[in-house]
């Protein structure tokens, strides 16, 4: 669902109709697309322009959009929108809900990662005064776990029904290349379909199955790094919430006093995600702990997965 704004690129000094058409053929349809590209990336996408010209027009796009140096106090005055999880305990440790950035949900099978993603696809559609963002969701499904029926079941708790599905765009990723292509397509849905939440469930599954063994580790991590940077660019350009799920790996060289598991993806994922929440099974409940964040202290809460979705635990273990 691609929409092209005909005059936006031509409004840039030095970009005429011929150059603008070349840019559009390369998938660049607006100034934000152009501003986000490096000179090298632009040359890879667009033929017939010099390196000097590529540098000039990307810099001009950033200047026109006002991407530059501002006093830090500007951010203090800002009132960034937050997305409720629909669970008051989770919202409390997140200081109101999820914010723009990449939130990684790390956990073993059955800890509620996908269920929480389903619930966020519902709550993002709530109006801002109810903790939502008044927008839609783009769901990249790598493990064939998406369930419209389950989402409708959760939506009823929030006063919605099947109409909630009209604002959720689902795509099944078949491999790592397809997964990355879908993120590129997500840019268009964010720009033109009011998508405020992008979900990748799960982030690393295809990478782990396609790149097996130590000899493939470097290639896998380089590609995963490019994928993480795609997602970073998405939230930085459009101030949206990105949520990814991730699996955990057993650690054979267990050291007493430390966890006997670690999140998949290594340092590439650890450094690339803005917020990291660990989900652990605990006596029929799930314990959620913020283990990495630039602004939240380490904190935990408990929730239960019920028919109506993710809810606060009635009693803690």
Domains of the chain in sequence order: 9-65 (1.10.150.20), 79-312 (3.40.50.300)
Residue 215 burial by Cβ neighbours in a 10 Å radius (0-12, 13-18, 19+): exposed
SS3 277: strand
Sorting pLDDT into bands at 50, 70 and 90, what band is 65?
confident
Instruction: Report the percent of the chain where pLDDT is more than 90.
Output: 76
Which ranges constitute the DSSP H helices of the chain?
Answer: 17-25, 31-36, 39-45, 51-65, 73-77, 88-93, 113-123, 148-155, 176-192, 205-210, 217-238, 266-272
C-alpha dihedral, 34 to 40 to 42 to 46, nearest 10° = 170
For 138-156, how does the pLDDT look when each residue is reduced to its tens digit (9 = 90+)? 999 999 999 999 999 999 9
Query: In this predicted structure, what is the pLDDT of residue 259?
Result: 67
SS3 245: strand
Sorting pLDDT into bands at 50, 70 and 90, what band is 244?
very high
Neighbours of 171 (CB within 10 A): 19
Contacts of 59 (CB under 8 A, 6+ apart): none
Residue 109 burial by Cβ neighbours in a 10 Å radius (0-12, 13-18, 19+): exposed
Which tokens go with 277? 């929440």
User: How far is residue 227's CA from residue 244's CA, in Å, rounded to a whole number?
Assistant: 12
The mean per-residue pLDDT over the stretch 32-55 comes to 91
Burial letters 129-140, b for 16+ CB under 10 A, else e = eebbbebbbbbb
Lowest-pLDDT choice from 10-24, 182-196, 207-221 = 10-24
Instruction: Report the percent of the chain where pLDDT is more than 70.
Output: 94
Bridge partners (DSSP) listed for residue 45:
none
Bridge partners (DSSP) listed for residue 310:
305
* Res. 307: pLDDT tops 70: yes
């Amino acid at each position: 669902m691609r929409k092209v704004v005909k005059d936006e690129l031509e409004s840039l000094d030095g970009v005429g109709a011929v150059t603008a058409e070349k840019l559009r053929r390369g998938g660049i349809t607006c100034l934000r697309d152009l501003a986000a590209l490096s000179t090298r990336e632009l040359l890879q996408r667009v033929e017939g322009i010099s390196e000097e010209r590529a540098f000039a027009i990307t810099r001009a796009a950033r200047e026109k959009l006002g991407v530059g140096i501002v006093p830090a106090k500007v951010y203090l005055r800002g009132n960034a929108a937050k997305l409720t999880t629909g669970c008051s305990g989770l919202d409390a440790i997140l200081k109101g809900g999820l914010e723009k950035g990449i939130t990684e949900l790390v956990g073993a099978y059955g800890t509620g990662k996908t269920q929480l993603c389903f619930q966020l696809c519902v709550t993002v559609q709530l109006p801002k005064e109810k903790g939502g963002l008044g927008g839609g969701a783009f769901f990249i499904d790598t493990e064939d776990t998406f369930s419209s029926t389950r989402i409708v079941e959760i939506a009823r708790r929030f006063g919605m029904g099947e109409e909630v599905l009209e604002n959720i765009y689902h795509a099944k990723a078949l491999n790592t290349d397809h997964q990355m292509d879908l993120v590129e397509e997500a840019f268009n849905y964010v720009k033109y379909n009011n998508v405020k939440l992008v979900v990748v469930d799960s982030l690393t599954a295809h990478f782990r199955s396609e790149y097996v063994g130590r000899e493939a580790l470097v290639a896998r991590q380089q590609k995963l790094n490019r994928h993480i940077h795609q997602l970073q660019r998405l939230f930085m350009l459009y101030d949206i919430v990105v949520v990814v799920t991730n699996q955990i790996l057993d650690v054979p060289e267990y050291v007493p006093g430390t966890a006997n598991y670690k999140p998949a993806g290594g340092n590439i994922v650890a450094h690339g995600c803005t917020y990291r929440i660990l989900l652990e099974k605990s006596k029929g409940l799930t314990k959620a702990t913020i283990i990495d964040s630039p602004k939240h202290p380490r904190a935990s809460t408990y929730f239960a997965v019920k028919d109506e979705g993710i809810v606060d635990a009635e009693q803690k273990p």
